[in-house]
Amino acid sequence: MGHVQAVVPMKLELLGAGRWFDTLQAVAPLDLVVEDGEFVAIVGPSGCGKSTLLRMVSGLIPVSEGEIRAGGAVVAGPLAELGMVFQQPVLLDWRTALGNVLFQVEMRGHRPGPWRVRALELLAQVGLADFAGAYPHQLSGGMRQRVAIARALLHDPSLLVMDEPFGALDALTREQMRVDLEALWMQRHMTVLFVTHSVDEAVLLADRVVVMSPRPGRVDRVLPIDVPRPRGLAARRHPEFLRREEEITEIFLARGILRRQAVDTKRPKD
C-alpha cells in the first residue's frame, strides 16, 4: 500500500453563508460546522444548491452573505489545502494516469520529479499500481475516477470536497468505490464534504448526513450515523442504516421531493 502521509484535518465553519446569482437565491444563509477529520455527506434534490455550496467552501465563488471559515481563517479565494473531485474525472487525454496525478503539482508550480514516488503510491492505494502508464482511453470509468481521487490526494489535503464523484458509474463500480473511499479516509483522516443524490451512499459513507431543502437550499436536518466502521457490504443490514435511510426518505416524501408510489416499488415485497 505504500507509506501513508500524515494529514492535518481542517475544521470547516459556515456562518450564515448564502449565495445569490443576480435575483436568484441559490443557497439561503445556513450554519454548519464540519469538525476536524469528520466525513459529512450532503444530500438533497436537484437544484437545491449542493454544488454551489461546495464551490463556496472551495473558494471558487464568493459568498453573497455571511462567511465561511476553514481552519479558523475566512475563505476569500481558492484553498491551497483543498482537494476536489468532480462527478467527471476531467483527465487530460494525452497524459498517462501517472501524468494526470502529477499534473496537480505542476499546476501549483512544483517540479513533478520529487512527487513521482508519492503519486505511484497513491495509484497503488486506489488499485491502479499496474496502470500508471495507461492513458485515459485505456481505462474504465471507475478507473478514471480513481485517478482523479489520487490526483486530489497528492498534496495531502486537509479538506477533501467531492461533488457526486460516483454519479456516472455503474452500480457495482460505485459500490466498490464507496468501500475504497472509506478505506482511504480511515487511513488519512482528512475532513471530507461529500455531495450525493443517493440517500444510500450518504448513510453508508458519512459520520453525519446533512439533508437540504429544495432551492433556495437550507439545512433541513442533520443526522448522525452511528454505524460501526469499516462499513463493508454488510452495512446495509445494520439497523441504524435502515433507520436513517428510512428517516431521510420520509423527509423527502413529506417535502414532495419523492412520491410514495416510486419509493414503494423499489422496496422488496414481504
Give pLDDT tens digits for 103-158: 988 888 888 888 999 999 999 989 999 999 999 999 999 999 999 999 999 988 99
Q: For the chain, how many residues are written?
A: 270
Mean pLDDT, residues 35-57 taken together: 94
pLDDT at 37 over 70: yes
Higher-confidence position of 256 and 269: 256
Give the residue from 84, 98, 100, 20 showing the smallest Cα distance to 52: 20
Mean pLDDT, residues 59-85 taken together: 94
- What local confidence, expressed as pLDDT, does residue 225 receive? 97
0.85 surpassed by pTM: yes
How many other CB atoms are there within 10 angstroms of residue 249's CB atom? Answer: 18
- What local confidence, expressed as pLDDT, does residue 1 receive? 36
C-alpha cell at 209: 448526513
Domains and CATH numbers, the chain: 12-81+157-266 (3.40.50.300)
pLDDT at 241 over 50: yes
| C-alpha radius of gyration, the chain, whole number | 19
